[in-house]
Amino acid sequence: MIHRARVVVGLIAVLVAGAASGEPRVQLPDSARQGGLLMGQAPAGSRVVHDGYELAVGEPGRFVVGLDRDAPRRIKLRIQLPDGGERVRTIDVAQRDYDVQRIDGLPEEQVSPRSEELLARIREEAAQVRQARQRHDGRSDYLSGWQWPVTGRISGIYGSQRILNGKPRQPHYGIDIAVPTGTPVKAPADGVVSLVHDEMFFSGGTLMLDHGQGLSSTFLHLSRIRVEAGQRVTRGDIIAEVGATGRVTGAHLDWRMSWFDRRVDPTQVVGPMPKED
Ligand SMILES: [Zn+2]
């Protein structure tokens, strides 16, 4: 009984504080994790600034901030309200430990490409992906909800430190799901196709979806892409087929998510892999 009384008193205090201030509400979670996605809401017409980014604030005042693998312990958001007021919010970011993953037996030219021609190709392909990630569209398609693009055994996780043929390389930013070539890939959320490439050097058949406000998904190693650049897709639509193209040791889907140039962890958005039948 005592416990319940305290809860009621606490609730009244919150309600009174809210009513007394008469200020438009800014909603943000109190905490987050490295690689996570913060979804917030501010009065329509607000400007939200974080770490030099001016965020797109969608129609219902919704906005999103991605946190990268090595995000600091605390981040700050500055919200300028349409009435001229300003709010500064600080959010604690839980720090994570990451695995080390060793992959051996890759062709040496795929781990440390040397030829000028190949290096030029890699640079050009990276520029295309970078450009697609910079799209800054106010749509809030990510509010459609999320589902796994394929279901199956997870064979690689976000953030692992990669050692390829004994050489330390970039961390792995995707989630790998080991499923056979030809398995249909479904759109994990609504979006617009922002890049289609049949054969990139590292990532093979590569497809990107723009979910709005800087949030994008990339699908790698595809055997077939079933949509075209600019096409609008709905969550659950079949967009591609799994393959083993590019730098791989076997067929799998590598699904990555980015918020502009920050890599976020898809599992923090979509939740755990559903059990297979
Ligand atoms: Zn991968």
> Tens digit of pLDDT for each residue in 227-273?
999 999 999 999 999 999 998 889 999 999 999 999 999 999 999 99
- The reported pLDDT for the residue numbered 23 is 52
Q: Can you read off the two tokens belonging to residue 91?
A: 């959010």
Q: Give a yes or no: residue 276 inside a domain.
A: no
Q: How far is the CA of 119 from the centre of ligand 1 (A)?
A: 21
Q: How far is the CA of 176 from the centre of ligand 1 (A)?
A: 5
Say which DSSP state 252 is in. Answer: B
Q: Which residue has the higher pLDDT, 21 or 64?
A: 64
Do 167 and 66 lie in one domain? The reply is: no
Do 64 and 195 lie in one domain? The reply is: no
pLDDT band at 11 (very low <50, low <70, confident <90, very high): very low
Do 40 and 123 lie in one domain? The reply is: no
- Give the three-class secondary structure for 142: helix
Q: How far is the CA of 256 from the centre of ligand 1 (A)?
A: 8
CA nearest neighbour of 218 among 259, 182, 159: 259
pLDDT band at 24 (very low <50, low <70, confident <90, very high): low
Q: How far is the CA of 111 from the centre of ligand 1 (A)?
A: 14
Q: How many domains does the chain have?
A: 2
Do 61 and 124 lie in one domain? The reply is: no
Q: How far is the CA of 79 from the centre of ligand 1 (A)?
A: 36
Domain end among 67, 94, 121? 94
Distance of CA 239 to the CA centre of its chain: 18
Q: How far is the CA of 174 from the centre of ligand 1 (A)?
A: 5
Do 146 and 232 lie in one domain? The reply is: yes
Angle at 161 between CA 69 and CA 217, to 5 degrees: 50
- The reported pLDDT for the residue numbered 18 is 41
pLDDT band at 105 (very low <50, low <70, confident <90, very high): confident
CATH of the domain at 214: 2.70.70.10
Q: d(Cα 172, Cα 220) in Å, to the nearest integer?
A: 13
- The reported pLDDT for the residue numbered 10 is 43
Do 204 and 118 lie in one domain? The reply is: yes
Do 39 and 155 lie in one domain? The reply is: no
What is the value of pTM for the model shown? 0.86
Do 44 and 30 lie in one domain? The reply is: yes
Q: Which residue has the higher pLDDT, 3 or 83?
A: 83
Q: How far is the CA of 80 from the centre of ligand 1 (A)?
A: 39
- Give the three-class secondary structure for 23: coil
Would you say residue 2 has pLDDT above 80?
no
Q: What is the mean pLDDT of the chain?
A: 89
pLDDT per residue as tens digits for the range 161-207: 989 888 888 899 999 999 999 999 999 999 999 999 999 999 999 99
- The reported pLDDT for the residue numbered 109 is 77
Q: Which domain holds residue 117?
A: 100-270
